[in-house]
Amino acid sequence: MFIAPIEVLAAITYVNSVQWVHDNFNMLNDAGLLNGHGWSSRFVLMVLFTSINLAGAKFLSESNIVVVVWKTVVPFLAVAVVAGMQFNPDNFHAGGGFMPFGFHGVFAALTGGVVFRAPGLRTGGPARRRGPQSEEGPVARDPDRDGDRRAALHAAPGRDDRRPRAGELLNGWKKPLGTDPSKLGAWYTLALAVGAGWLAKVLLIDAIISPAGTGVVYVGTSARLSYALGEEREMPSALSQTNKRGVPVVSILVTAVIGCVAFGPFKSWNALVGVVTAATAIMYAFAPISLAALHKLDPDRQRSYRMPAPTILLPAAFCSANLIIYWGGFDTTWEARGRHGGRPDPVRDRGRTIRQRRGEVRPNAGWMGPWFAGHVILGALGRYGGGYEVLPPWVDIAVVIAFALGIFYFALG
């Protein structure tokens, strides 16, 4: 449900970068957050996304065909044109060379957009009787921290005169290309730098169409997931009610409302992406434990597919999900588990979490309390925003893996 507001913010930010819009209808304050105009524009876009979904699955599918083709063609076009007009191999060695911040930078980048993009590579939701069953990959972009800079590195201009030349990056990694003064993203700036003004205009249009198209699709996708939960009686049955066109109206409206209020606790693109990434990692973590439990409880069942080497791959998958949670940073971990006010005390809150859950959850879910609390403690002691940084590099990775393995086998009993 947070994907649509993420795309709304991406579209608003790009539109706001147009000089006329910035001068006459500025939607962002100095901190890059939505102002009054931005909040009203966000509401209008969410209403638009919702209205398209309420029109029915057939209309949504047909209107999305052009967007899908556009989103497929434009990235390939941009790479081909920019690479064909300018190629500076020296840039691959500039600014500190390969991995200037070491693996710490790689780990941090995973939760800064890479993991967020990964779920878009899969398709399909739960198989239900009504409604579309596919989802389009998210291509949300942050204009100030574009995830595709690595692919544009070869074309970066080398000097402040903005003419493309071989040599070092314009300002190194502390001030990446596209963040100042245009703030229109690396690819837009590169297109201007190599003299492809027409491509720059296409990319600006794409920066609006792509997030908007994904936002429309994810309003529908989220609604159909909650519809399925309502039909399975995991959530109120009202969510499974449909109109004569088979549209789950209540679910779509609930998705829209949650999307509209998402910017309350999570005011920026980074904050929303961080929470989505943490939630995704939690979802990933449940899968290997669930499968391992099913293998243990019902080992002789005939299955059409059996995972190879489950004793190795299932714990490894759970450890991977735990590392993603840890790399996401302490603040994101804390937000994902619920804030109780003030700066948290990991030791105190560990006991509180266990006490709150005792008697409320079934015994076979009792591992979740120590798991959540343990991640709060690890986040506070680690080097990703916890403030204490007690665990040195690589030792923290080993500790997280050991903790994850302990939880995994404890959960299986």
Contact in structure between 403 and 376 (CB atoms under 8 Å) = no
DSSP sequence for 278-332: HHHHHHHHHHHHHHHHHHHHSTT---S---SSHHHHHHHHHHHHHHHHHHT-HHH
**Pairwise CA distance, residues 228 & 220, whole Å:** 12
Residue 405, pLDDT score: 96
**Pairwise CA distance, residues 150 & 147, whole Å:** 8
Average pLDDT, consecutive stretches of 10 residues, N- to C-terminus, the chain (413 residues) = 85 80 87 87 88 76 78 90 84 75 81 70 41 35 41 46 40 56 68 87 85 82 84 87 84 88 78 81 90 90 87 95 88 64 42 44 77 91 83 92 96 88
Choose among 22, 24, 48, 26: nearest CA to 37: 26
Residue 11, pLDDT score: 83
Neighbours of 309 (CB within 10 A): 8
Contact in structure between 326 and 375 (CB atoms under 8 Å) = yes
Residue 127, pLDDT score: 36
DSSP letter at 262 equals T
Residue 217 Cα distances to 1, 54, 73, 133, 134, angstroms: 11, 12, 19, 11, 9
**Pairwise CA distance, residues 183 & 179, whole Å:** 4
Would you state the structure tokens that stand for residue 225, as one six-digit string? 């997931």
